[in-house]
Amino acid sequence: MDNCEKIKTPLFSNITSEDLEHIYEPYEDSFLLIDALEKDLHMIRESQPSVCLEVGSGSGVVLTALASALGPRCQYRATDINPRACRVTRETGKLNGVKIETTCTDLVSAVQDELKGKVDVLLFNPPYVVTPSDEIGRGDLEHTWAGGERGREVMDRLFPCVDSLLSPQGLFYLVALKENDPDDICETMAKFGFSNTTLLARQTGPEKLCVLRFGHKQE
Amino acid sequence: MLTSKGIKNVKEGFPLKIQADEVKNVDIDFDQDFISKMVPKLDWNALIFAAQCVGHKEDLPDTLPEGYENDEDLLRKLHHILLEVEVINGCLECPETQRKFPISNGIPNMLLNEDEV
Ligand SMILES: C[S@@+](CC[C@H](N)C(=O)[O-])C[C@H]1O[C@@H](n2cnc3c(N)ncnc32)[C@H](O)[C@@H]1O
């Protein structure tokens, strides 16, 4: 593959140590998602996406990486439940010369009407760690990892919204952990009309991570 | 154009009224093709309403005219209002409940309290 099909890791020197007490530091899972997007970059580019949306953008590195590779002919949108993460996402974009419109909201609540049927690329690296349910939402950092039962409680709330958000050719990229039961995630998404592909799987320390890609089942 | 439909009993939550306390103009290269592809995907009424709120209605037509793809003048205006005008500080107001959502550093905070959902 030639050079233009690579995704550069964005700069994120804008993130301060104080920020990192509140937001998710770009980590293995963030880079796994970037690697998965790199694998699909040629295809994504060919599809000429007009809207890319990242849910729970945290530091913003993933969407910034994709935006830098795809260029300005696309609208980049991000959400996070944490206002500081929203601010950092916008700044990370700016530092790398990309414009990211960021909204502080629960999952896609405030954007789902506006973006109905328009999202060509949807990204979510969710809080996926198995925790007691009441740990979710306890604080900024808990939001970054606490996934409740099977680590599924946050991502499971997004799945029913994906069908209405995605454009006909739209793709949804999701990071999941073995404990989240990827097979069961795929079954759930199949009920909403999606076929799935496992793009990448990687063991990092004790975590067995994968990136799943979903698209509307073609008739 | 966000919505406040997440609020209990709110039907549309749209369009939100924009109160712009601080507006910034940024320079972005004009890409006629890109803007003309974006236009048919917009809710024109909501766009005009938003432009009005931030004082940029100027002479934007009330309906999207035919042949807009070749109307460079119009596309340039749309480019400006869509991409270059940023509301840095202010708020968004729900048309049904008048609930206000703050915008700070260019980021609308649409989070709701537990008793609102
Ligand atoms: C594992 S971190 C991923 C951050 C970033 N996307 C990355 O890959 O480095 C999960 C992110 O989801 C956000 N988040 C958690 N619950 C959320 C919710 N209900 N709505 C929106 N964002 C949420 C967290 O604040 C955090 O930024």
Taking only the tens place, the pLDDT of each residue in B54-102 is 988 888 999 999 999 999 999 999 999 999 999 999 999 999 999 999 9
- CB B31 to CB A99 under 8 A? no
**pTM to 2 decimal places:** 0.95
Query: Do the Cβ atoms of A105 and A161 come closer than 8 Å?
Result: no
CA–CA gap between residue A90 and residue B8 (Å, rounded):
29
Q: Is the CB of A144 under 6 A from ligand 1?
A: yes
- What SS3 state is found at A12? coil
Classify residue B9: in a domain, yes or no.
no
Closest CA to A125 of A166, A165, A92, A158: A158
CA–CA gap between residue B85 and residue A40 (Å, rounded):
33
Query: Do the Cβ atoms of B5 and A106 come closer than 8 Å?
Result: no
Beta strands of A39-189 (E only): which ranges? 51-55, 75-80, 100-104, 119-124, 166-177
- CB A50 to CB B31 under 8 A? no
CA–CA gap between residue A200 and residue A175 (Å, rounded):
10
For atom 13 of ligand 1, the residue with the nearest CA is: A56
Residue A1 has pLDDT above 60, yes or no: no
For B98, other C-beta atoms within 10 Å of its C-beta total 8
Ligand 1 centroid to residue A130 C-alpha, Å: 15
| Domain residue limits at B72 | 17-105
A49-54 mean pLDDT: 96
Query: Do the Cβ atoms of B85 and B28 come closer than 8 Å?
Result: no
ipTM: 0.91
Query: What's the CATH code of the domain at B74?
Result: 2.20.25.10
pLDDT bucket at B117, cuts 50 / 70 / 90: confident
Q: Is the CB of A80 under 6 A from ligand 1?
A: yes
Residue B20 has pLDDT above 90, yes or no: yes
Cβ within 8 Å of residue A26, ≥6 positions away: A12, A58, A59, A61
CATH class of A19-216: alpha beta
What's the pLDDT score for residue A137?
Answer: 87
Best of B2, B27, B84, B92 to substitute, by most chain A Cβ atoms within 10 angstroms, is B2
- CB B14 to CB A113 under 8 A? yes
Which is higher by pLDDT, B116 or A33? A33
Classify residue B111: in a domain, yes or no.
no
Query: Do the Cβ atoms of A107 and A131 come closer than 8 Å?
Result: no
What's the pLDDT score for residue A183?
Answer: 98
CA–CA gap between residue A62 and residue A57 (Å, rounded):
7
Classify residue B42: in a domain, yes or no.
yes
Question: Which residues make beta-bridge pairs with A122?
Answer: A53, A172
User: Cα torsion for A151, A136, A124, B44, to the nearest 10°?
Assistant: 140
A108 Cα to chain B: minimum distance (Å) = 10
pLDDT bucket at A4, cuts 50 / 70 / 90: low
Beta strands of chain A (E only): which ranges? 51-55, 75-80, 100-104, 119-124, 166-177, 194-204, 207-216
Question: Which residues make beta-bridge pairs with B101?
Answer: B92
pLDDT bucket at B5, cuts 50 / 70 / 90: confident
B31-53 mean pLDDT: 90
Which is higher by pLDDT, A137 or A123? A123
If one counts the domains in chain B, the total is 1
Q: What is the mean pLDDT of chain A?
A: 95
Residue A205 has pLDDT above 90, yes or no: no
User: Considering CB atoms only, which of A50, A75, A87 is closest to B107?
Assistant: A87
